[in-house]
Amino acid sequence: MNLYESIVKKDDIISLVGLGYVGMPIAVAFAKKAKVIGFDVNESKINQYKNGIDPTREVGDEVIRDTEVIFTSNEQDLRKAKFHIVAVPTPVNPNHTPDLTPLESASRTLGRNLTAGSIVVYESTVFPGVTEDICVPILEKESGLKAGLDFKVGYSPERINPGDKVHRLETIIKIVSGMDEESLETISKIYELVVDAGVYRAPSIKVAEAAKVIENAQRDINIAFMNELSMIFNRLDIDTKEVLEAAGTKWNFLKFFPGLVGGHCIGVDPYYLTYKAEQEGYHSKIILAGRQINDDMGKYVVENIIKKLIQADISIKNAKIGILGFTFKENTPDSRNTRVIDIVNELKEYGIDPFIADPVADKDEAMEEYGVTINGVDQVKDMDAIILAVGHSEFLSLNKDAIDSMYSKQHTADKVLIDIKGLLDKKEFSSNEYNYWRL
């Protein structure tokens, strides 16, 4: 009996190493078809899962309560599994070089508990070569086993979009790769158990790694173009959103929008590719130019906030500014690598300590990561200016009365309103009562 058949018959087990926004939905999906061990070094997170709580909000508490995933923080439980999926973060260092620490640590943990006949599949975004040149040697050293003989490896890049309830693991074509034809066949068939959209068999692990890293680099460059257009049109006193809506009537116009680019993928992955390019003697031009534009958007937004405050004759230092939304994207509690923090830090340079409200954000995480206090939206009162920074569903229903209630009573006219995401009806907030601006 081969590994695929034994997993289908539940004689062998699948393990997920890393139960964050990527790993946990994968574990839940596979648990509907096979026996699954969900491992994470974070005992607090594991306890939440065991108690039926989904801290990621990706699948919901009810799904976590009903799943048959065996949640554990005991690494020795990994010895019970034969098919391992590694889904840990791959962030960047402050100098924008890849930080492979979580991936290397996960590989050491798995290597200590790897048994002969196993297959290890990495899902973390990396530059081409990481799986075979960095992860495999760690697995071999820790396990005493030999890749290709005692165990096999593959790579299948994650494509989960946090907060997206439409594009899910099951509905997105899955790229799969293996170190040889045998491992590719097994990996493909196992993923086909849960991916309804089917799999794409990449010819090599390096091709699969490269495909993933350019997906987000492409989006980053396109958003950077939109951000640059926003800066140009702002100088020309033209509304960027109106321009994009007009241009979008052409069938082949790519519908990207300006904004803050954070999170664990779009704002990070391009640096993995440019790092590898530098190692090979090539200095990126387009990719790094796009990164620079997007990294500077927080500063650009604050420059325009300050201009609006001056126009409204509001004292800059100690101005009361409310920020609605702090997470890196809408409808997710994750604030790690949020670029809203750039706005916060830049405002502090002007002597402004903004009041931050977010109905979705993980408050403990925001405090731990940034020392930021997250408040309730109903606490936003007596403000001189409001910044609508994240497009949470809760903010889509904000009407004029609700926004009016957030301002100081002394502001009966020229209320500074910054709509970064362009969520509000411009016509409704373009009267003398408001000083409205959006990217």
User: Any residues with CB less than 8 A from the CB of 355 and at least 6 apart, and which?
Assistant: 320, 321, 322, 323, 375, 379, 380, 383
User: Any residues with CB less than 8 A from the CB of 100 and at least 6 apart, and which?
Assistant: 90, 126, 130, 134
DSSP string, 150-218: TEEEEE------TT-SSS-GGGSPEEEEESSHHHHHHHHHHHHTT-TT-EEE-SSHHHHHHHHHHHHHH
> What does DSSP say about strands 174-178 and 199-201: parallel, antiparallel, or unpaired?
parallel
List the strands of the sheet with 70-72, edge to edge.
70-72, 35-39, 13-17, 83-86, 118-122, 151-155, 174-178, 199-201
d(CA 316, CA 318): 6
d(CA 393, CA 391): 6
DSSP class of 133: I
First to last CA, the chain: 59
Residue 147: phi and psi, rounded to 5, are -65, 135
Give the bridge partners for 105, in sequence order.
none
Q: How many Å separate Cα 183 from the centre of its chain?
A: 29
Exposure of 152 in the CB half-sphere (CA atoms within 13 A):
19
C-alpha distances out from residue 121 to 26, 127, 139, Å: 13, 15, 12
Give the other-Cβ count within 10 Å of 1's Cβ. Answer: 9
SS3 362: coil
Give the other-Cβ count within 10 Å of 323's Cβ. Answer: 26
Q: Which positions are catalytic? A: 265
C-alpha distances out from residue 243 to 225, 228, 351, Å: 14, 13, 35
Exposure of 140 in the CB half-sphere (CA atoms within 13 A):
14
d(CA 37, CA 317): 53
